[in-house]
Amino acid sequence: MITIDRHYLLNKEFSYYRKLSPSDQKLFRNRIQEFIQSTSFEGRKGLVVTETMQVLIAATAVQLTLGFYVHYYYEHFKKVLLYPEKYLSHHTGQYHTGEMNTAGVIVFSWKDFYEGIKVDQDSRNVGLHEFAHALEFIDKADLGIDDYFAHAIEKIKTIGRQYIQRQPDVPFFRSYAATNTSEFFAVGTEYFFEAPSEFKRQMPDLYRIYTIAYRQNRELNVYNPYSTSSTDTLLLGQKGTKSGSQWMTFISLLLISVSGALVFWNQHYPNVIEGLPLPATYLFLVFNIGMFIYFFFQSHIGWYATFICIYPPIWKSILRWVLRKEPVFAIRVPLTDVFLIQLKDEHDNGEYSITCSYLDAGILRHTTVKRKRLLAFRHLFSAYYHQHQIAFKENGNVKKFPLT
């Protein structure tokens, strides 16, 4: 039962909440309620757990997953234990401020947890740290996690291994990040939420991967900045050539001219074209107009040796030319910014849905196409196969695409 004004409490105590829009604040409070309802809170050493404590702990958990569309709940973790201050861990025999264990329990020292919330710009927040470990465990155990988080954390750990092997002379992260890749990820999460601008300045590539993992851009105070364009079509051309979709626009325009001429001659000079019914010429004209409209409004993508090129829809280029504005140039995306390529046979009928996800000025965008023949995309798959970036879902499990 809700007995306190949660909006007032969060506005007062939780800086992350204050930066959200009213509609997002409502979503945030709803997810807090879901977390509290599905989690048991127990005090230790005489500590009485209050609703305020529950709300602030739930808010920290929700802060990490607010950008997730699904799997934003912490599957498997259904209990939070609270000690008044640092406690002796049964697992390590040392005093801890917090820990996550695989039995589904998260433990905190309330004193240290609350300090992490009150001082929110020192990159030390035990709540964020332990809930990050919980998300990592959910991913490892395949209990249901956001797809982008699952792929991003692998990239983060790869960078973490390199960081640990050759630590920089003046490291940005505190020394605890070099313990192992799990701690690297959890410490990075603290810096991502509490020092985003400095994080982006010092380690821009890693920061960008964190924005994908959590679907948030903390520097801009945006929790879900990703836009998906449903009009994008993925058509991979050969090196140095334009997209087939672009050529189809001009071909359909040419066919409109031809079919229009047939209609004209069939109406005015029916004896010239014998045996061609007038309805057939109209149907041919309508079909070509429809094809032109379809390709006219498509943006399309070309595949090149070191980058992909996203061409803007032709109507945008024409409109800006008519208005005498600056032209809309094609977007060149380096292969390093192509984040993920997914292959799915959703209906088990041999028709594959291929989605290419890439970064455009920090915004994650997607292009999708359906294909029955995969050979045309073999060079694309080969480029990413060795980086474990190609995956498809089979029986609920993510697997690499087999190049056989």
Q: Is 226 inside any structural domain? A: no
* 260 in the same domain as 213: no
* 301 in the same domain as 173: no
What would the DSSP string read from start to end of 73-139? S-TT--EEEEESS-EE-TTTSSEESEEEETTTEEEEEHHHHHHHHHS-SSS--HHHHHHHHHHHHHH
pLDDT, position 28:
92
Which has the minimum average pLDDT: 5-9, 240-244, 328-332? 240-244
* 136 in the same domain as 199: yes
Amino acid at 141: A
* 361 in the same domain as 272: yes
Q: Is 37 inside any structural domain? A: yes
pLDDT digits (tens, 9 = 90+) for 10-30: 999 999 999 888 888 988 999
What is the distance of C-alpha 46 from the center of its chain? 42
pLDDT, position 361:
56
* 116 in the same domain as 144: yes
pLDDT digits (tens, 9 = 90+) for 22-76: 888 988 999 999 999 999 999 999 999 999 999 999 999 999 999 887 678 898 8
311/241 Cα distance (integer angstroms): 12
* 273 in the same domain as 198: no
pLDDT digits (tens, 9 = 90+) for 361-404: 556 666 665 555 554 454 455 444 434 344 444 444 444 444 33
Q: Is 1 inside any structural domain? A: no
Closest C-alpha among 99, 166, 159, 158 to residue 134: 99
Q: What is the pTM of this model?
A: 0.60
* 340 in the same domain as 258: yes
Mean predicted confidence (pLDDT) in 272-277: 62
* 237 in the same domain as 188: no
Buried b (16+ CB within 10 A) or exposed e, 155-194: bbbebbeebeeeeeeeebbeeebbeebbbbbbbbbbbbbb
* 260 in the same domain as 145: no
Examine the fold and report which residue of 220, 243, 272 is the final residue of a domain before the chain moves on: 220
Q: Is 42 inside any structural domain? A: yes
Q: Is 342 inside any structural domain? A: yes
- Total structural domains in the chain? 2
Q: Is 225 inside any structural domain? A: no
* 323 in the same domain as 293: yes
Q: Is 152 inside any structural domain? A: yes
Examine the fold and report which residue of 165, 197, 220 is the final residue of a domain before the chain moves on: 220
Is the predicted pLDDT of residue 154 greater than 50, yes or no? yes
- State the pairing for strand pair 352-360/363-371: antiparallel
| 33: containing domain | 6-220
Q: Is 227 inside any structural domain? A: no
